[in-house]
Each structure stands twice: as C-alpha cells, then as structure tokens.
Structure 1
Amino acid sequence: MSPSRSSAIKDLAPTEPHLTEYDREHLAVYLRLLDAAEDGASWEEASRIILGIDPSREPARARRAHDTHLVRARWLSAQGYRDLLRGS
C-alpha cells in the first residue's frame, strides 16, 4: 500500500517540536516504518513499499525520506503522541 496522492510523501519529514497536519496525515506511514525497522527491513525495502520511492531510481531521495520519516516516527512514539492525546 503506497501513500495516496492526497498524502504524498515529502522528501523531508517535519521537524517541528509539535504534531503537524502532515504528521496526522501520515500516522499510518510512521507506524509502518517503526514496524519495518523493528522487523529488520532494509531502508531500501521500506522506502519502496511504505514511502513509494524507488531507491534504485532515486537513492539519495529515498534514503533521505526514509531516514527523516523514521526519526519523526520515533519522536512521535516517544513524545509527539502527547499532542494526539491532548487532541491538539
């Protein structure tokens, strides 16, 4: 399942210290990235399957998108979830 056009994956995940609309739209992507990392999937596989970016065609973009979205997913699971609980 690739992201839909309405929720296209950006090259860089947000870095704001609060939950963004982009984060809300991509919660499932973040969860899938966390699962893939936990399962030992390669960044190439996760980029292709979860982010919809072909690492053989766009290796730098795929790696950057994967790494920044995984960092954001980890931030969300450690801190950002509080914004979800508050409903902000």
Structure 2
Amino acid sequence: MNCRFDDIAPDLPMITPYDEAHFTDYLRLLDADADGADWREAVAVIFDIDPGREPERAERMHATHLARARWMTEVGYAHLLTRDGELKH
C-alpha cells in the first residue's frame, strides 16, 4: 500500500500542505484526463496502486484527487496569488 497519498483528497476552501505537496500530481491527473487516458491507468501510474486489486479505493482516490485538481485550477490558484502578493511554489 502506497502511503504517499491519502485515499481522499482535501475538500477545504483553502490550499493545504497536502495540496502543496501534490501540485505536480494534480497536474499529471489533469493532463491524463485531458488526454482521455483511462482513469485506471492514471491511478496505476500516478498513485502506484493496482485498480484491479483495490477498485473502490482506486476510483475514490482518482475521483477526489481529480476534483481537487480541478478546484485548484478554478479557485485554489487565487490563494497562491494572494500569499504575500506573489506566486508561491
């Protein structure tokens, strides 16, 4: 079991340390989604878990992390811009 990722991404109205640690992973999820990649392949590559062995967990991880990645592009980025008036990370 890979402990690098939580099973459920944050669902808070602010950027969390978890989000900051996973900016690159969020971008990878968004790219995979935009490219039409199968979510199971994305989970295997990005989260390093086998969706065949843990289908519910894999789907939950993918859905919540992709939703968080989308939130980052729609809302969360503004929090980065307002920290001390400069872009962070």
Which one has the largest radius of gyration?
2
What runs of 5+ residues in structure 2 fail to find an aligned partner?
Answer: 85-89
Q: Match of 1:76?
A: 72
Q: Helix, strand or coil for the counterpart of 2:49?
A: coil
> Residue 69 of structure 2 aligns to which amino acid in structure 1?
A
Q: Helix, strand or coil for the counterpart of 1:80?
A: helix
> Residue 34 of structure 1 aligns to which amino acid in structure 2?
L
Q: Normalised by the size of structure 2, how large is the TM-score? A: 0.88
Q: Normalised by the size of structure 1, how large is the TM-score? A: 0.89
1:66 aligns with 2:62: yes
Structure 1 residue 51, shift from structure 2 partner: 1.3
> Residue 56 of structure 1 aligns to which amino acid in structure 2?
G
Larger % of helix: which? 1
| Aligned residue among 22, 28, 34 for 2:24 | 28
Q: For 2:55 and 2:26, how far apart are their aligned partners in 1? A: 20
Q: Helix, strand or coil for the counterpart of 1:15?
A: coil
What is the percentage of aligned positions where both structures have the same residue? 52
